[in-house]
Structures are given as C-alpha cells and as structure tokens.
C-alpha cells in the first residue's frame, strides 16, 4: 500500500537492503542492485513479483514513477491518500485478525514454501493443508455453525480434542484385513 506522497507502508518482498534505496515520486522502491551484472535477491524478487517488462524497465532505466503506476504494475496492492494510510492498514489488519488464525498461518506458510510449485502440485498441497485444518482445528465447525446461525464467527484456532482410540479389530476382521492386504487389493 502506498500513499501519494511517496511513503510506502508495505512493498512486496523486495526490501533486502534498506540502506540502498531508489526513490520514486510516489513510492519508495528498495532493491539490492539496479544492474544485471551481479543480480541480487532484490532484483530477482522484483522480476518474480512483476511482469518481466515492468521489472526490467524499473531495473534498467531507474525512471521515477507515481503511485498509480506502482498500482498498475502490481508493485503495491492499493493506493490511498497519505492521511488515510494508517487507518486503511489498521482496517486490513482488523479484518485479517478476524479470520481463522490457524488458516491464516497455514496460508502464509503455503505461499512462502509452495508458491512456486506447478499448479497441479500446488492444488494437492493446498488440499492436504485444508484437510489438515479441518481435521485438527475446531475453526471449520465454528465457521459452519456461525453461518447457519447467521452470526459472526469466533475463530480461535483451538485444536480438536482427541476421541477414544479405535478398538482393536476382532480376530475374524484381522484375518479379512490380512487377506485383503496380501491380495494387493489395498
């Protein structure tokens, strides 16, 4: 998010060495290295975050740009007047805090660890994470109850209580399971 006076509340993933800054008219863009001879993490992250042509224009020309351009190219996700910047940031933070805490943590973890996976693999990982959240926390049940009762949800991230252990199978069931396992059916 950036204010039109050039103060950036948050720029996406390119603040690696804050002592080297390139100022624009509307936002501060912090990158490691403006050249390609020795690419640093800031330059490579900029190329990952933006379209190739926009990243190369920033890295090679060093031309200043305004908040509207930063929004257009995806460097910031929202532009608000500077006087409303803190208020809007707090509004977003309050919204995120109301979300299921375990799901927010897992989504952040998913994006950091698995964000570069091919789409089919990312779907599998996300499906596993969603199932884990549903099975391990009470937030899924709370969300359904809140929806049905037409009230705001109170997500806590609490872990489910463990139920009674599975009973041991009878001798007959054990034999059937062993036969099925040996037959290759399962």
At 29 the three-state DSSP class reads strand
**Integer Cα distance of 70 and 154 in angstroms:** 36
Select from 92, 78, 101 the least CA-distant residue to 27: 78
pTM for the whole structure? 0.58
Tens digit of each residue's pLDDT (9 = 90 or more) over 81-122: 889 999 999 999 999 999 999 999 999 999 989 988 999 999
**Integer Cα distance of 129 and 137 in angstroms:** 12
Q: Which residues of the chain have pLDDT under 70?
A: 1-42, 185-186
Domains and CATH numbers, the chain: 21-95 (3.90.226.20), 98-186 (1.10.12.10)
**Integer Cα distance of 64 and 35 in angstroms:** 16
**Integer Cα distance of 10 and 1 in angstroms:** 6
């Amino acid at each position: 998010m950036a204010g039109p006076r050039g103060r950036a509340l948050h720029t996406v993933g390119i603040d690696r060495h804050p002592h080297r800054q390139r100022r624009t008219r509307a936002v501060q863009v912090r990158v490691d290295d403006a050249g390609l001879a020795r690419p640093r993490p800031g330059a490579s992250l900029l190329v990952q975050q933006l379209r190739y042509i926009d990243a190369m224009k920033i890295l090679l020309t060093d031309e200043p740009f305004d908040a509207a351009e930063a929004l257009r190219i995806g460097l910031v996700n929202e532009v608000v007047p500077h006087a409303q910047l803190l208020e809007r940031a707090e509004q977003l933070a309050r919204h995120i805090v109301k979300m299921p805490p375990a799901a927010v943590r897992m989504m952040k973890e998913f994006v950091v660890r698995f964000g570069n996976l091919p789409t089919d693999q990312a779907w599998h990982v996300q499906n596993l994470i969603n199932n884990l959240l549903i099975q391990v926390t009470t937030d899924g049940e709370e969300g359904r109850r809140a929806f049905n009762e037409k009230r705001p949800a109170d997500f806590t991230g609490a872990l489910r209580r463990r139920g009674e252990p599975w009973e041991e199978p009878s001798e007959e069931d054990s034999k059937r399971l062993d036969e099925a396992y040996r037959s290759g059916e399962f």
